[in-house]
Amino acid sequence: MFTSLAVVDAGPLTRRVAGAAHELGVVTTFVSAVDPIREAVDAGADALHLLDADATTQLTIARGCARAGLQLVGSSIDSLATVVDPERWGVIARGAGLPVAEAADGRRIDVQLLADHTGEVVHLRERELTGGDDSVIMAPAPRLATAVRNGLCRDAVRLVGLIGLTGAVTVRFEVVDEEYAVTAVLPGLQLGHTATEEVTNLDLVQAQLHLAHGARLVHLGLTQESIIVRGYAIQCRVTADNDQSGVRWRVPGGPGVRIDGEPGGHASRLVAALTFRGRDLVHTMRRTRRALTELEVEGTSNVPELQHTLNRG
């Protein structure tokens, strides 16, 4: 395992990643998103974690890390170069018989996967993106036909293996009735991963770090048969309307309530990801609605919109 990890200090996942590394005995240092490679090298870090950066940013930083002798937690340069080019990964997908489409008006379903350097890939089931700006995420996706769910997970595993991605990966689908198509391949950590963690009881950040260090899934005890989904989880992304909002807030408590983020100035507008877990969908919805009524955010935020989305569900 790495001895020192540099973590980009940007958004609610910073402390989340640092905490997971600390549990593994890895020393962490925070670096800015402006010049993370230079700051990581100056800090003597072995590796760099970009949180939930997009694929294009990951590719640019991966090339810089290779020149600097720094390990980037994520996929290889070649596989990242493939996923930043929709035509390139689309050819791979279609060649394997997988339908590909641009996002339109269907249900947006993400399949979470983990992959190692030997080509082994496992899925951790799916989550559904709803609400404005995908502000509400449910895991697993409610009222999804079993045949569709099985097809999504099977095809996501195939595609990730064909592209050669490693670490944490998300494949996004559009689902209309019982038909579906791939719309995006997203390497690295996605903010919605907390919902998947809550229903699988797995730490995806620690899995990322182990895989980046060369571990095999089987040696981590991560076989497809070992991954079991229990209950439901709902993640709500709380955003502020400006950098003066969300500086102070009061969060709900009780069992099944998880907070990723902390008060302060938020140039990205994202204040926190709140994830609620329950024994079934009805129980989880009730817990989420109750918690949102207790949540207090200074200034203006999207909490009313979140409540509206949940009340429609």
Predicted TM-score of the model (pTM): 0.95
C-alpha distances in angstroms, 119 versus 94, 157, 236?
Answer: 20, 10, 33
Q: Are residues 152 and 105 in the same domain?
A: yes
pLDDT tens-place string over residues 109-162: 999 999 999 999 999 999 999 987 889 999 999 999 999 999 999 999 999 999
Do 142 and 217 contact (CB within 8 A), yes or no? no
Q: Which pLDDT score is estimated for 271?
A: 80
Q: Are residues 69 and 195 in the same domain?
A: no
Domain shared by 103 and 197, yes or no: yes
Asked if residue 271 is part of any domain, the answer here is: yes
Taking Cα atoms as reference points, which of 272, 309, 262 lies closest to residue 288?
A: 309
Q: What CATH number does residue 200 fall under?
A: 3.30.470.20
Q: Which segments within 4-131 are labelled E, that is strand? A: 4-8, 27-31, 47-49, 71-72, 107-115, 121-130
Tally of domains in the chain: 3
- Rounded to whole angstroms, the Cα distance separating 197 from 243 reads 29
The pLDDT score that the predictor gives to residue 298 is: 80
- Cα dihedral 183, 186, 191, 196, rounded to 10, equals 80
Residues 98 and 204 in one domain: yes
DSSP state of 133: G
Residue 107 shares a structural domain with residue 222: yes
Q: Is 80 contained in some domain?
A: no
Q: What is the pLDDT of residue 268?
A: 59
pLDDT band at 313 (very low <50, low <70, confident <90, very high): low
Instruction: Give the model confidence (pLDDT) of 66-106 as tens digits.
Output: 999 999 999 999 999 999 999 999 999 999 999 999 888 99
Residues 61 and 171 both lie in one domain:
no
- The model's pLDDT over 215-273, given as tens digits with 9 standing for 90+, comes to 999 999 999 999 999 999 999 999 887 665 556 788 888 999 999 987 654 455 778 89
Query: Could you tell me if 200 and 289 lie in one domain?
Result: no
Provide the residue range defining the domain that includes 293: 232-312
pLDDT tens profile 155-195: 999 999 999 999 999 999 999 999 999 999 999 999 999 99
Q: Per the structure block, which two tokens stand in for 143?
A: 């009222």
- One domain for residues 23 and 148: no
What's the rounded Cα separation, in Å, for the pair 73 and 1? 12
**pLDDT reported for residue 263:** 62
